[in-house]
Structure 1
Amino acid sequence: MGQKLSCGTSDEHELFSAVQCGDLETVKGLFERNPSLVHHSTVYDRQSALHIAAANGQIEVVSMLVDQSVNVDLFNRYKQTPLMLAAMHGKISCVEKLIEAGANILMFDTLNGRTCLHYAAYYGHSDCLKTILCAAQTSHIASSWGYARFVNVKDGKGATPLHLAARQRRPECVHILLDNGALACASTGRYGFPGSTSLHLAARAGSLDCIRELLAWGADRLQRDDSGRIPYTIAFRHKHGACAALLNPSSAEPLVWPSPLKFISELNEEAKHLLECALIEANKEREKNILKGTTYSPPSPTNSDNEMDDNVSEVSDTEVCCICFDQVCTIQVQDCGHQMCAHCVLALCCHKKPSPTTTSPTAPVCPFCRSIIVQLDVIKLEKKDGTSHDVSSSKLRKSRRSRNFSEGSNSFKSLSAVSSFGKMVARGSGRIAAEDVYIDKPIILD
């Protein structure tokens, strides 16, 4: 693939052409006539029939070859496996079939020293990326290598999958990798020498969406590359004005998703989605002020001030958040049962950037009873007809007063509400303490 097929016999040429086109009947007929063809490969690239079928998404041919006990980890000229080629071309059905057949996800090619995870991230195939990461959690990789080590595996030039996704402007892949433990501040440097971080690479590519994701997961705007440059300098030099504005060290830092906290990593999907939406909304409000005067106009927040809650008649005033008195309670602390809105939960957890030197960040405490927050749940509301629904499916209540997210701090309005909440809990502990948390090209068969 990438080269014209060169076969020693007409049968070989006919086989590889039939495999590329997915002509299953011809492939079966050729194997019946000459069973040894299953072990043949192209002359120059040494592509096997399985390589060609996987790269072209011919799942029926892949399934037939796997059923005939063909080695799923065959190497081509560059020690690329069929799984690598399937991930490179985004052939999700072939990726799933090969992994199911026992393909080793921790094989490195000799072209760039990359794994199938690198290929999926580089070419932006998020579905393949998720499948490979899921397989890594349940395979021998998790027990032998360690899942976190696999997610942050480096290629021959020191680049992790996150570096490649940021460099190629793949924000969805960046988000998936960060959500699965990719290190936002990891450098491409090796043997103690500095290199570029994912933020440097995203700044060079001018990917505003990738920069947003990396900053929200704690990427350091002041970290320097091997030339002593911070990401802002790179974005400015390449004339990416909006990116440079967000990366400018003098601009307000974004709220940071508290990934090191155990209770956050174990959130159920509904609660996590609510908090992520609140984080995005708060950061977009911050962006509006930062990007004023640039050519880029940021999109409106997810929840507009002009939107009214469709179910506001279903919710009584007692369910309004008692910290900010502004939005409906959507999150409940599992053990004590106290309720807050997603924005106020973020104010407790995300108002301070996590310190990389802190190995065990202090868990936040409930502002009502000061018990440690271990788990959060989405509140289930009961309608008048007796049925229940998730508060997360409803829009947030329109503000009783205009929202005023801070322009120059790391927090927003809800945090100021938390600091003034001490009067409400004077009967208990007497004060609130928000804890510190501190160019590769696809191989195409002619």
Structure 2
Amino acid sequence: MGQGLSCTWSRQENEFFGAVQAGDAEIVESLLEAEPELLHLTTVYDRLSPLHIAAANGRIEVLSLILDRSVHPDLLNRYKQTPLMLAAMHGKISCVKKLLQAGANILTFDSLHGRTCLHHAAYYGHSDCLREILSAAHSNPVAYSWGFARFVNVRDGDGATPLHLAARQRRADCVHLLLDNGALVCASTGSYSYPGSTPLHLAARGGSLECVRELLAWGADRLQRDSSGRIPYAVALKRKHGACAALLNPSSAEPLVWPSPLKFISELNSDAKTLLERALMRANKEREKNILKGTSFSLPSPSHSDDEDDDDSSQGDGTELCCICFDQACTIEVRDCGHQMCAHCTLALCCHNKPNPATLCAAAPVCPFCRSGISRLVVAEAKIEEERERDGPWKLRRSKKSKNPCESGGSSSFKGLTSAMGSFGRVGRGSSGRIADSSDLVDKP
């Protein structure tokens, strides 16, 4: 970034900038006491201030010292980049936090590509900095005036959103974080890369199987074309990314996507959401294994380990079985009725393929036990032994399986959900991957 010191400076000026770059707070403070005007110096070519240099090098003590002297946090260098942008580029999370606390503007655009600090954090793959900036956007007055959703999908000078940049640079963690915060999965670029490219086109171009998996799980359209008329499958084939091409092939099974009915469930518990995400990942992993079976492409492990995926299927004694599938432990509790089921059955209840734009949105799912609306999902708490004994022997235990109520003429709600679970289980065996939506899982009047 042109941080070299000028030979035309005095010895004191060179010593000051050298101390800032090295993070020697004592020397910086002593020099500023003797000559306060040193704070207003910049490097000759890139016009980097001491604050820029401290932020880019992660010198948090020097950065704090400079900010404490009432230096504005949004100083601009030659390319109109702020110290916050440089800290985000280099992944200096402590400096990012300090600058945000000092009121740094998160909506400043540089003059190179018209990018914000959010673009830079996504492009360079610093998910911790990205998370901190997104968190600050909820309370930052500038982003608040724009609206959070607009800020997450802000475009640079070439029409690329942070999600486009993260997908092109193979930053799977950043892709997931942006999607989880409302990034538009099917947005097209302007002049960036090939015009009209979606994040899925860019992930296919970069050959990132993790990014492709994330985007498909959030409903990316495999048939959307760029301005040249190419679908992501054609892009992956041209770049010889065989594994990505196999998953993007329109003739292969449709992936399961994050269930849109859950968007209508208020206060979704974060732990419950994690369990549902793991169930979704497991189902899509089985689908991917089936698609790639018999090919020369090996399937990389997902971000979460198999040990983590098996957390909700513990074989501990006394754990209650899900009354729908009789296989997994009850890990999700429906509020306010209190009924419990496993993450897989909850996902089957709520999950479906990407909806047809011509059809209306599916109604919010209802509890399959009592038919009441689901207002909240939380992680099921283990019940104490006294409650189990009081509830009677009809409660299912993992150590003793009972007969499926659907087989003995039980409620049609159970029949519908069991049917959905059958479709859910067949995803990994080459089916179309279609999951019955919530309207299929309730009794007809």
User: Are 1:261 and 1:361, in contact at CA under 8 Å, matched by a contact in 2?
Assistant: no
Q: How many Å apart are 1:385 and its aligned residue?
A: 9.1
Amino acid at match of 1:108: F
How many angstroms apart in 2 are the aligned matches of 1:76 and 1:155? 18
User: Are 1:367 and 1:432, in contact at CA under 8 Å, matched by a contact in 2?
Assistant: no
1:131-150 CA-partner distances (Å, limit 9, x unpaired): 00000011113430000000
Q: Which residue of 2 aligns with 1:409?
A: 432
Q: Which residue of 2 aligns with 1:425?
A: none
How many angstroms apart in 2 are the aligned matches of 1:281 and 1:303? 12
Q: Which residue of 2 aligns with 1:133?
A: 134
How many angstroms apart in 2 are the aligned matches of 1:119 and 1:98? 15
Structure with the greater relative contact order (CA < 8 A, sep ≥ 6): 1 or 2? 1
Q: Give secondary structure in 2 for the equivalent of 1:219.
A: coil
Q: How many Å apart are 1:172 and its aligned residue?
A: 0.5
How many residue pairs match? The answer is 409
How many angstroms apart in 2 are the aligned matches of 1:176 and 1:19? 33
Q: 1:49 to 1:3 in 2, by over 3 A?
A: closer
How many angstroms apart in 2 are the aligned matches of 1:308 and 1:51? 47
How many angstroms apart in 1 are the aligned matches of 2:291 and 2:217? 16
Q: How many Å apart are 1:367 and its aligned residue?
A: 2.2
Q: Which runs of 5+ in 1 are unaligned?
A: 388-395, 423-428, 434-446
Q: Which residue of 1 aligns with 2:234?
A: 233
Does 2:318 match 1:314?
Answer: yes
Q: Which residue of 1 aligns with 2:286?
A: 285
Q: Which residue of 2 aligns with 1:45?
A: 46
1:89-138 CA-partner distances (Å, limit 9, x unpaired): 00000000000011011110001100000111011101100100000011
Q: How many Å apart are 1:29 and its aligned residue?
A: 1.9
How many angstroms apart in 1 are the aligned matches of 2:93 and 2:360? 37
Q: 1:288 to 1:342 in 2, by over 3 A?
A: same
User: Are 1:309 and 1:397, in contact at CA under 8 Å, matched by a contact in 2?
Assistant: no
Q: How many Å apart are 1:242 and its aligned residue?
A: 0.4
User: Are 2:314 and 2:329, in contact at CA under 8 Å, matched by a contact in 1?
Assistant: no
Q: Give secondary structure in 2 for the equivalent of 1:382.
A: coil
Equivalence map 1:10-29=2 (5 Å):
10-29=11-30
1:190-224 CA-partner distances (Å, limit 9, x unpaired): 7xx96111000000000000000000001100000
Q: Which residue of 1 aligns with 2:144?
A: 143
User: Are 1:314 and 1:383, in contact at CA under 8 Å, matched by a contact in 2?
Assistant: no
Name the % identity: 66
Q: 1:203 to 1:117 in 2, by over 3 A?
A: same
1:345-386 CA-partner distances (Å, limit 9, x unpaired): 111221231345678652122223333222111111135499
Normalised TM-score (structure 1): 0.84
Amino acid at match of 2:433: N
Normalised TM-score (structure 2): 0.84
User: Are 2:323 and 2:341, in contact at CA under 8 Å, matched by a contact in 1?
Assistant: yes
Q: 1:338 to 1:94 in 2, by over 3 A?
A: same
Q: Which residue of 2 aligns with 1:197?
A: 198
Q: 1:276 to 1:265 in 2, by over 3 A?
A: farther
CA root-mean-square deviation: 3.2
Q: Which runs of 5+ in 2 are unaligned?
A: 389-396, 402-421
Q: 1:92 to 1:312 in 2, by over 3 A?
A: same
User: Are 2:84 and 2:117, in contact at CA under 8 Å, matched by a contact in 1?
Assistant: yes
Q: How many Å apart are 1:309 and its aligned residue?
A: 5.3
Q: 1:258 to 1:385 in 2, by over 3 A?
A: same
Q: 1:368 to 1:432 in 2, by over 3 A?
A: farther
Q: Which residue of 1 aligns with 2:164?
A: 163
Q: Which residue of 2 aligns with 1:374?
A: 375
Q: How many Å apart are 1:322 and its aligned residue?
A: 2.4
Q: Which residue of 2 aligns with 1:4?
A: 4
Q: Which residue of 2 aligns with 1:426?
A: none
Q: How many Å apart are 1:293 and its aligned residue?
A: 2.5
User: Are 1:241 and 1:294, in contact at CA under 8 Å, matched by a contact in 2?
Assistant: no
